[in-house]
Amino acid sequence: MAMGGERRGHPELALIIVVVTVAVVGVLCVAWLLGAKGLEEGDSGVPWTGADYAPWAITCSVILVGGLLLAWRVGRGGGVDPAEAQGPGRTWHVTDEVSLVDSPRRGSVVAHLPPATAVVEVGRHGHYIQVIAPGGRTGWVRRRSLY
């Protein structure tokens, strides 16, 4: 995990997802065009209408948009970070000097923790993690202040 709790993306995997998505949509479009050409030449005797194109267009659009969104999410590091999923009992370290407060958001300062101080998670509330600091003090720290 990166410093400050940032998630790392996987640009190589994102590129693979984009390439596969574009390839699948390309194959579908070629199949669509070959099918349209055959119908226009009178193979079935029924000309293509807007209703005939709609399922192909919708399918291609859904695959393309879904694939690109998935690639974007993978590339930026979306999803659950396994380290964050551990929850209570996990040992964190303070990134920079941080104030330990008695309640989330607008709490009073209980102590100041120097960088690299090890703390143990005991709970969560929004963007705050409740920790036990060295010496047994309990308080809340913003998630982005830990790694």
Distance CA 11, CA 17 (A): 10
How far apart are the C-alpha atoms of 70 and 92, rounded to whole Å?
30
Higher pLDDT, 81 or 72: 72
| pLDDT in the model for residue 32 | 73
Average pLDDT of the residues in 4-33: 76
136/38: higher pLDDT: 136
- The answer on pLDDT for 41 being more than 80 is no
* Predicted local distance difference test score (pLDDT) of residue 129: 92
Alpha helices in 41-128 (DSSP H): 50-76
Domain 86-145 has CATH 3.10.180.10: no
Q: How confident is the model at residue 73 (pLDDT cuts 50, 70, 90)?
A: confident
pLDDT score of 107: 83
pLDDT above 70: percentage of residues in the chain: 74
- Nearest-CA neighbor of 141 among 129, 133, 132? 129
Q: Of 43-47, 60-64, 136-140, where does mean pLDDT reach its minimum?
A: 43-47
Helix, coil or strand: residue 131: strand
Q: How confident is the model at residue 3 (pLDDT cuts 50, 70, 90)?
A: very low
- Give domain limits for the chain: 3-76, 86-145
Q: How much is the pLDDT for 52? A: 66
Mean pLDDT of the region 122-129: 90
pTM of the predicted model as reported, rounded to 2 decimal places: 0.45
Q: What is the DSSP letter of 63?
A: H
Task: Give the span between the Cα atoms of 13 and 21, in whole angstroms.
Answer: 12
More confident residue, 103 or 45: 103
pLDDT (0 to 100) of residue 112: 93
Compute the average pLDDT of residues 106-125: 91
